Each structure stands twice: as C-alpha cells, then as structure tokens.
C-alpha cells in the first residue's frame, strides 16, 4: 500500500538511485572481467560456453575480455560489437523489464546474430518465451537505464 511515509522515503532515495545508475559500468564485469572470463566469440563459433585464457585477454569498454585463442581475440578486436553481449552483458530479461541484473555465462542465447545473457538458466527460459518482444523492450530501456 502506498502511504505518505513510503512516498517520502522513495523521494529521499531518488538522488542515490540516480547516482548509482550514473556510476553503473557500461559492461557487467566481475572483478573487472567480462562474462566471468568466458570467451564471447566461442558462443558464436563453437555454439558453447568456453573459458577464456588470461594469456589471450584485452581491455574493451573498461573490462577485461578473455578468449580461448589468439584467433578469437583477433576476431573480437576487429569487430567487438559483433561478439559482445547485448546490454553490456547485463541480464537481457531484466533489461526488458527496465531493470539491471548480473548474469552467469551458462545462461546465454544467440538470437539473430546477437549474444544475450541472463541472470540464470531459469530466467533464460522466461527470456526465450518471447525473444523478439523482450529484445524490443530491452532495446527501448537500455539507453535510459545505463544513462541514468
């Protein structure tokens, strides 16, 4: 139930919410490493989650990206937007709801040549129920959510 007290508390928290959003990194990274060290190119080339190697790493958009081979690293270097997950690697389903959530590398989908990650494999099942609809909603929310 919405009360005067909850409205006052919500208004008091608003500046902090904006500050957090403004400080939100463009790429979801755990300890500075994107996709928990998983090779993003492998999702496309091997249709599988493959661990990257720190020996084949590069920094892009403030995060370290790891690859399983020099060939995959070069492919990413030549066209990072072709291989990087949508919405900075944040949960695609959450973004469709106008929110941000972390992801796990096991909960992935390649759809129409783009990589989408989800919070969990259970959430991925919700995502897969209407990928085109969720993509449209997430595409609409992404600039506002990341931009604050």
Same domain, 148 and 108: yes
Choose between 103 and 7: higher pLDDT: 103
Domain count, the chain: 2
Extract the runs of DSSP E, i.e. beta strands, from the chain.
29-30, 33-34, 53-60, 63-67, 104-111, 114-118
Q: Do 102 and 70 have their domain in common?
A: no
Beta pairing partners, 37: none
% of the chain beyond a pLDDT of 70: 84
123 and 148 share one domain: yes
Clarify whether residues 32 and 70 are in a common domain. Answer: yes
Do 72 and 111 lie in one domain? The reply is no
Domain-embedded: residue 7: no
Residues 89 and 76 in one domain: no
Give me the domain span that covers residue 114: 85-148
Taking the C-alpha atoms of residue 33 and residue 125, their distance in angstroms, rounded to an integer, is 25
Residue 14 located in a structural domain: no
Considering the domain architecture, whether residues 49 and 94 belong to the same structural domain is answered as no
| Pair 129, 96: CB distance under 8 Å | no
Q: Dump pLDDT digits (tens) for 120-139.
A: 999 999 999 999 999 999 99
Residue 90 and residue 60 in one domain = no
Report yes or no on 19 lying in a domain: no
Q: Is residue 129 part of a domain?
A: yes
Give the model confidence (pLDDT) of 68-87 as tens digits.
999 999 999 999 999 999 99
- The answer to whether 121 touches 1, Cβ cutoff 8 Å, is no
| Residues 40 and 53 occupy one common structural domain | yes
Same structural domain for residues 96 and 62? Answer: no
For residue 21, tell me if it sits in a domain. no
Residue 12 lies in a domain: no
29 neighbors 37 (Cβ within 8 angstroms): no
């Amino acid at each position: 139930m919405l009360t005067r007290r909850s409205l006052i508390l919500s208004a008091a928290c608003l500046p902090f919410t904006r500050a957090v959003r403004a400080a939100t990194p463009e790429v979801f990274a755990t300890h500075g490493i994107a996709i928990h060290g998983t090779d993003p190119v492998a999702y496309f080339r091997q249709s599988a989650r493959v661990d990257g190697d720190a020996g084949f790493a590069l920094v892009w958009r403030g995060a370290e990206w790891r690859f399983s081979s020099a060939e995959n690293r070069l492919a990413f270097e030549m066209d990072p937007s072709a291989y990087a997950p949508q919405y900075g690697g944040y949960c695609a389903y959450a973004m469709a709801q106008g929110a941000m959530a972390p992801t796990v590398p096991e909960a992935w989908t390649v759809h129409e040549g783009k990589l989408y990650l989800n919070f969990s494999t259970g959430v991925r099942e919700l995502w897969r129920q209407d990928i085109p609809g969720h993509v449209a909603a997430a595409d609409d929310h992404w600039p506002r959510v990341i931009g604050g």
